[in-house]
DNA sequence: TCGTGATCATCT
DNA sequence: AGATGATCACGA
């Protein structure tokens, strides 16, 4: 995020309620309005604007810029995610959740997994997608504070076990985004030829870095407070 | 270099 | 059109 001159950053919210109120206050505002209020200049080429809106909203809400792998609001245990919305109000893209630690993929457990930690408590902020309006005109919508319910957590764990199991067993190279009911595994790298140490069929080898994404259908449902899938083995 | 923030560009 | 695989920017 480029700052035009003095650095402007909101103080961190001291309570969940304060965070919600701030997020509600962004509803209806445009990217240009928020950027101007924070004294941030807009990127000109859309191709170079990936991630801009997410970082802008982080700054507007007082997220900890040094959080790293921790939640955006460490004291509140809340993760912030902006979600691009199409003209019908549905997610326009899948949602990146976290990268996969390839080197330790065979040792990770669901309960302490990066993915579960990140999705424990999420503040979703809908924003008009890049294909709906030009960057400055993209409007922010009403936030949704979400925790996975029992059914959602079951779906997430089931996919995670399948996908992480495959990666840990050295079959990560055979995975595509078609696997998974609510999750996807997709490349997460600057270039398709990047490699990092990970499990291979015959032991550790250089592998394509992967990340977890939420399918649009899952995100769409949770934004409306209802995720209900038919169970694969009958009710 | 890796992880965070995502959207782009192409193929089906 | 929608989904998949590829790509862009930034910070520690």
Q: Which of the nucleotides lies closest to A127 (Cα–C1')?
A: B6
Tokens of A16: 């969940």
Q: What is the pLDDT along chain A (235 residues), one digit of tens a residue?
A: 555 444 466 889 999 999 999 999 999 999 999 999 999 999 988 888 999 999 999 999 999 988 888 999 999 999 999 999 998 899 999 999 999 999 999 999 999 999 999 999 999 999 999 989 999 999 999 999 999 999 999 999 999 999 999 999 999 999 999 999 999 999 999 999 899 999 999 999 999 999 999 999 999 999 987 544 444 443 3
Tokens of A195: 């490699």
Tokens of A194: 């990047």
pLDDT reported for residue A235: 30
B strand bases under 7 Å from protein CB: 1-9
Cα separation, A194 vs A180, in Å, equals 24
Q: What is the 3-state composition of chain A as percent helix, strand, coil, each rounded to the nearest 5?
A: 30, 20, 45
Residue in A20, A18, A12 with CA at minimum distance from that of residue A62: A12
Q: Which of the nucleotides lies closest to A186 (Cα–C1')?
A: C5
pLDDT reported for residue A66: 84
pLDDT reported for residue A7: 46
- Concatenated DSSP letters of A175-223: --TTS-SSEEEEE-SSSTT--EEEEETTEEEEE--EEEEE-HHHHHHHH
Tell me if A32 sits within 8 A of A20, measured CB to CB.
no
Burial annotation A70-105 (CB, 10 A radius, 16+ → b, else e) = ebbbeebebbbbbbbbeeeebbbbbbbbbebbbeeb
How far in angstroms lies nucleotide C6's C1' from the CA of residue A151? 33
pLDDT reported for residue A8: 60
| Cα→Cα distances A113→A78, A107, A120, A164, A188, Å | 16, 10, 11, 10, 18
Pairing relation of β-strands A183-187 and A210-214?
antiparallel
Which residue's C-alpha is at the least distance from the C1' of B7? A50
How far in angstroms lies nucleotide B6's C1' from the CA of residue A39? 22
Tell me if A219 sits within 8 A of A193, measured CB to CB.
no
């Amino acid at each position: 995020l480029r700052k035009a001159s003095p650095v402007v950053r909101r103080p961190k919210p001291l309570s969940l309620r304060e965070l919600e109120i701030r997020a509600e206050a962004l509803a209806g505002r445009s990217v240009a309005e928020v950027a101007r209020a924070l004294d941030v200049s807009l990127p000109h080429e859309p191709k170079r604007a990936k991630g801009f809106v997410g970082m802008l909203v982080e700054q507007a809400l007082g997220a900890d810029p040094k959080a790293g792998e921790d939640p955006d609001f460490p004291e509140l245990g809340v993760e912030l995610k902006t979600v691009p919305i199409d003209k019908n109000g549905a997610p326009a893209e899948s949602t990146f959740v976290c990268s996969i630690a390839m080197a330790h993929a065979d040792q990770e457990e669901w309960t302490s997994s990066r993915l579960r930690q990140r999705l424990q408590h999420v503040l979703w902020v809908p924003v008009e997608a890049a294909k709906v309006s030009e960057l400055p005109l993209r409007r922010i919508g009403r936030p949704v504070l979400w925790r996975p319910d029992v059914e959602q957590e079951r779906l997430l764990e089931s996919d995670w076990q399948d996908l992480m199991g495959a990666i840990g067993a050295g079959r990560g190279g055979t995975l595509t985004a078609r696997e998974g009911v609510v999750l996807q595994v997709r490349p997460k790298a600057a270039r398709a030829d990047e490699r990092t140490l990970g499990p291979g069929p015959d032991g550790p080898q250089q592998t394509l870095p992967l990340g977890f994404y939420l399918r649009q259908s899952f995100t769409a449902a949770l934004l409306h407070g209802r995720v209900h899938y038919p169970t694969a083995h009958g009710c």
